Amino acid sequence: MQALAALLEVEEGRPVAEALAGAERGLSPEDRRLATQIVYAVLRHRRFLDAFITTRIPLSPKPAVRMVIRIGLCQLWFMDRVPDYAVVSSAVEQARTVDARAAGLVNAVLRTAIRTPFEPREPGVRYSLPDWILERWQARWPGDWETMAARLNEPPPMTLRVRKDRATALADLASEGVEAVASDWLPDAITVRSPLRLERSALFRQGFLYVQDQSAMAVTYAAAEPEQTRIVDLCAGVGGKSFHLADQHPAAHVTAVDTAAERLARLRENAVRLHLAGRVTPVLGDARAVASQEHGGIVIVDAPCTGLGILRRRPDIRWRRQPRDLARFQILQRELLDAAVGTVEPGGIVVYSVCSTEPEETTVVVNAILQAHSELVPEDVAQLLPEPWTRFREGHWLLVPPGIADLDGFFIARLRRTA
């Protein structure tokens, strides 16, 4: 029932993480993991599931009944933790709680699904993606789009940034019963291959681990500028990049700006755990207004975006976004990047990043800023990262397609202010 409740909240517009946090209260760790897996699986495969439902039910069922069927289908086809008979039985019981008359319908649809393979021809249905997104990727990556689309429907890896000797950290995790391996992409990254309850890990509690995708870690590598002592993170969120920057620049102070008090509250908590409270200062405010009051030799703009590069990690996004959102976010991104230019000191650098690879949010934004500010010069991002990243070099920029090499889709640009 908790997965059903969370999914219905997501349908009403609540972010998936918030919906899960509310629904999972009081559950055992095992039940919490199962509820989370069900919610994310349903969101990933929603279009595929609905296409099958449409072939079996001539009239659209009530939203709660449809969601019960989606959950059942997802467990039958994409999960293996619960036997088929138990999935059907549980779904029928859930149906009775939302609409007693629907129990027979749910039973019939799920039993049909057990007997009948479903192999839709349309790529958008097969990979459960909106057509407009898939069409863009087909045009830009004709040889890779199908691999990308399929990968986006797999659970993403859990990657951690390690804040101590990596070999020692891996040994410490092994002693806690956690299987993890060193990353080939970054020297301070590891990938977890077994269940890990962070709150139970001494390594985590002591501040030696931070959950972060490697593409997000790459942003701070692009900001390498050892002599700089003042850093401004204009879109800090809960602090992932601010903390990484502080670790990479031990003599620097980081000002972390964000518009949301809740995110900054989490940033403060994280800063205490990581023993960085004295070196990372949160500032509540809009970066476009705060920028004139803050100055630094390194300025980071990890801008709000459509999030089309992290559909594997945030499957709900694929159903929220529309093509018009690209233009809407572009306006904000240009304003934030322009504010960053006013924040960075002469000789310093601005790093712009988004978890999207769409041109409207990436090259179009950066090229517009370069045209407006002759004092800016682009610099090669890939040369600041380990060799494997060079495969994603796009001119001066780094562009990681979503679903490739177990990395989130990301765009990173580095600009130096010469005067």
Catalytic residue among 74, 235, 305, 355: 355
> If you average pLDDT over residues 370-374, what whole number do you get?
97
pLDDT band at 305 (very low <50, low <70, confident <90, very high): very high
User: Could you give the CA distance from residue 219 to residue 169 in angstroms, rounded to a whole number?
Assistant: 23
Mean pLDDT over each residue of the chain, to the nearest integer: 94
Active site residue 305: no
Over the stretch 315-347, which tens digit does the pLDDT of each residue have?
999 999 999 999 999 999 999 999 999 999 999
Over range 376-403, report the average pLDDT. 96
Residue 271 covered by a domain: yes
Same domain, 242 and 367: yes
Segment 116-143, tens digit of pLDDT? 889 999 999 999 999 999 999 999 999 9
DSSP designation for 368: H
Print the domain residue range for 174.
158-211
Mean pLDDT for 220-227 is 94
CATH number at residue 237: 3.40.50.150
Domain co-membership, 361 together with 221: yes
Q: pLDDT grade, residue 2 (50/70/90)?
A: confident
What is the spatial distance between Cα 35 and Cα 81, in angstroms, rounded to a whole number?
12
CA angle at residue 109 from 104 to 111, to 5 degrees? 95
Whether residue 150 lies inside any domain: the answer is no
pLDDT at 26 over 80: no
| Tens-digit pLDDT profile for residues 344-362 | 999 999 999 999 999 999 9
What confidence score (pLDDT) does residue 158 get?
A: 93
Within a domain: residue 287? yes
Q: Is 21 a residue whose pLDDT tops 90?
A: no
Half-sphere exposure for 286 (CA within 13 Å, toward CB): 6
Task: Give the model's pLDDT for residue 138.
Answer: 96
- What are 231-271's pLDDT values in tens digits? 999 999 999 999 999 999 999 999 999 999 999 999 999 99
Domain edge (last residue) among 211, 244, 278: 211
Measured CA to CA, the distance from residue 210 to residue 232 in angstroms comes to 20
CA distance 241 to 412: 13
What is d(CA 279, CA 267) in angstroms, rounded to the nearest whole number?
12
Range of weakest confidence among 10-24, 35-49, 252-266: 10-24
Share of the chain above pLDDT 90, in %: 81
Q: Which residues lie closer than 8 Å to 110 by C-beta, 6 or more apart?
A: 69, 72, 73, 76, 87, 88, 91
384 versus 292: which is more confidently predicted? 384
String of DSSP letters for 129-194: --HHHHHHHHHH-TTTHHHHHHHTTSPPPEEEEESS-HHHHHHHHHHTT--EEE-SS-TTEEEE-S
Indicate whether 202 and 248 sit together in one domain. Answer: no
Between CA 261 and CA 264 the distance in angstroms is 5
Spatial contact of 3 and 39, defined as CB atoms under 8 Å apart? yes
Could you tell me if 354 and 400 are in contact, meaning their C-beta atoms sit under 8 angstroms apart? no
At a CB cut-off of 8 Å and minimum separation 6, what does 114 contact?
Answer: 76, 84, 88
* Nearest alpha carbon to residue 148 among 173, 171, 184, 123: 123
Q: Are residues 64 and 204 in the same domain?
A: no
Residues 46 and 167 in one domain: no
Looking at the structure, tell me whether residues 174 and 261 fall in a common domain: no
pLDDT band at 68 (very low <50, low <70, confident <90, very high): very high
pLDDT of residue 16: 87
Bridge partners (DSSP) of residue 129 are: none
pLDDT > 80? residue 288: yes
How big is the chain by its Cα radius of gyration, in Å? 23
pLDDT 10s digits, 142-200: 999 999 999 999 999 999 999 999 999 999 999 999 999 999 999 999 999 998 888 88
Tell me, yes or no, whether 199 and 244 share the same domain: no
Q: 350, 337 in Cβ contact below 8 A? A: yes
Mean pLDDT computed over 379-404? 95
Number of domains forming the structure of the chain: 3
- CATH number, domain with residue 194: 3.30.70.1170
Residues 199, 333 share a domain: no
